Amino acid sequence: MIEVNQNNLESYISDFELFLGKSFIDAANNYIANNNVGIKNCTDKKVHPFYKYWNSYINDIKNTKEHNKLHISRETIFILELLSNIKDIKNKKNISRIINSLLQHNTYYSAVFETQILAYYSSRYNIEIIEENQIEGEKSPDFLLQTNNKNIYIECKALEDFEINNNIEYQKIIQKLNDYCQKKQKSNSVIIKTGENFSKSNTNNILSKIYCLINKNSNIVTKIDELGIEVIIQKISEWDKPIYGAIKINHPNNANFTIQTQMKILNNGTIEQRNLILVGIEAKPILNFEKRINNEITKARKQLKSDKCNLLHLQLPISDDINFEKYIDENYNNIKEYIENYARRINAVIISNPMYSYKKNSPEIQTIQSVIIPNCRANKPINFDFKMPYSTVMYKNIHDLKIQNNKTKIELKNIFYTQNMPWEKAPVGAILLNIVSSTAETQFKIWKSFIGLITFDIVIMGARVSIKSTKNIFPKNEKYKIDINIIGYTIEIIVNDIIVEKGQINVNHIHRS
């Protein structure tokens, strides 16, 4: 773990050069120097994604010096966490495999995810990096974890998505809007946020609508519902009016855009820009969650050992638009059935979603929201002392619960939120309690959902129940006793001896040995 303050933010440049290579950092600096206007939003597959994070880091260093106060962005936090993880695992044998993947633009995000997972397990278990299989057509899992003479193989997959850059229709729209602004002599920023209804057949209609908006010569934010898009137009300046210094335009962080400008450097070194046009498209992530996950499960089962215990870690794309809890609620049972029927060598699929809580002009806090989907029909059960990831250390061993005599009960004493703040002020994703059995067939998690509600996720015999409470159950930072009663297939959640919520287990998804 590294600590960051306004006095040491710049000092980590040398660490990046040490681990990633000075030539790699020099290449990032050179790219930024030659493409500074658009680097923050660069998502070109041929350009290394590290460059946009590095650009933010360098800018944060400058802003911190200028204002004598720590300025740090989400992108900077992202690569500083990467650096922290690399420091934690730097002495691992075969670490060069991960470093080499970090240096490649098409494997960068998966390698970042591998550093997170490896650093996490390294603090708890003996874990090794497995060398790449040299046999053509075969791949090895990423890690081998050892606990009490038992082996668990781990495969990691990051689902970062760059499909927007391959969409020819997007490029056509961007070019035509650039041409139109040039023809009409409009110095504008035009951003299109696409929705789920966007299609090739809408291209001409979209252009026609936006042409009319551009002609209004004003700042506009409007939704065109029938086309499933939102259009944001900002006037940059009068056409052919000189612009000096930095250009600040509010546009989405993930927009894929082009920028056109006439630029010259005056005798005093000042840069003059004219006739500036910025056109971009921000694609709403349309993640076919079930299909993508199943595809990765299919790939992973070929890499993992059939006679061993195996875990598959998956990370969703980094986006504020992904509704993690909605995806899980809608697809949990389908994914569970898929691994039970077609991937019995995988003991559990752990799906994580990186998220942030943000405060202006102060460091962001990265947290990991995750769900563990157990395979109750795995070839080789994890029936030994192993702690599933991201669970709080409340009980060393949580045994798998069975519904016996139509009743089951668990009592959790002295549970409390430890952040010295009322629960309603805690950031979304904050976890009060997360305990998991070694097989993950029994789980109890209490967390603050993305819509701000207290959420109880309970897995009994492999079946999941998600209960969201509208009540202010934890108003103060004090100790609580929580009882969970299961009577038949009804779950009662009791906080300090008061029943606060009830839920129903779907009997069709109960695993029976």
The reported pLDDT for the residue numbered 41 is 46
d(CA 214, CA 196): 24
Question: Which is more confidently placed, 474 or 27?
Answer: 27
356 has a pLDDT exceeding 70: no
Q: Return the minimum-mean-pLDDT range out of 90-99, 252-261, 428-437.
A: 252-261
C-alpha of 275 from chain center: 37
| DSSP, res 280 | E
Residue 359 has pLDDT above 50, yes or no: no
pLDDT at 295 over 50: yes
CATH 2.60.120 correct for 391-513? yes
CA distance 395 to 386: 12
pLDDT of residue 144: 94
Which amino acid belongs to residue 493? I
> What is the structure's pLDDT at 287?
55
Task: Could you list the beta-strand ranges (E) of 38-148.
Answer: 126-129, 143-147
Q: Is the pLDDT of residue 198 over 80?
A: no
Q: Which of 85-89, 259-263, 286-290 shows the highest mean pLDDT?
A: 85-89
Once rounded to an integer, what is the mean pLDDT over residues 43-55?
77
Give 183's Cβ-side CA count (13 Å radius).
Answer: 9
Confidence of residue 15 (pLDDT cuts 50, 70, 90): very high
The bridge status of strand 187-194 relative to strand 271-282 is parallel
Q: What is the mean pLDDT of the chain?
A: 80
- Please report the pLDDT score of residue 246 as a whole number: 60
Distances (CA, A) of 379 to 145, 262, 347, 387, 463: 18, 65, 8, 19, 19
Separation CA 266–CA 245 (nearest Å): 12
Higher pLDDT, 175 or 409: 175
Going 222 to 223 to 226 to 229, the CA torsion angle's sign is positive
Residue where the block lists tokens 């040491």:
8
Sheet (strand 480-487) strand order: 407-415, 480-487, 490-495, 498-504
Is the pLDDT assigned to residue 338 strictly greater than 70? yes
Break the chain into its structural domains and give their ranges.
Answer: 1-90, 164-282, 391-513
Q: How confident is the model at residue 38 (pLDDT cuts 50, 70, 90)?
A: very low
Q: Percent of the chain, pLDDT > 70?
A: 78
**Residues 243-272: pLDDT tens digits?**
876 666 655 544 555 667 776 767 676 777
User: Of 99-113, 145-159, 465-479, which range is least confident?
Assistant: 465-479
State the pLDDT at residue 164: 42
- Backbone torsion region of residue 44, taken as left when φ is above 0, otherwise alpha when ψ lies between -120 and 50, otherwise beta: beta
Average pLDDT over residues 487-498: 84
Residue 345: pLDDT over 70: yes
Torsion of CA 368, 374, 379, 382, to 10 degrees: 70
**Residue 128: how many CA atoms within 13 Å on its side-chain side?**
10
Whether 382 shows a pLDDT value over 50: the answer reads yes
Can you give the pLDDT at residue 137?
52
| Amino acid 185: pLDDT | 92
What pLDDT is recorded for position 365? 46
d(CA 113, CA 309): 21
pLDDT at position 100 over 70: yes
Query: Mean pLDDT throughout 90-112?
Result: 92
Q: Where are the alpha helices (DSSP H) in 318-391?
A: 324-342
The pLDDT of residue 74 is: 77
Exposed e or buried b for every residue in 13-44, given b needs 16+ CB within 10 A?
eeebeebbeeebbebbeebbeeeebbbbbbbe
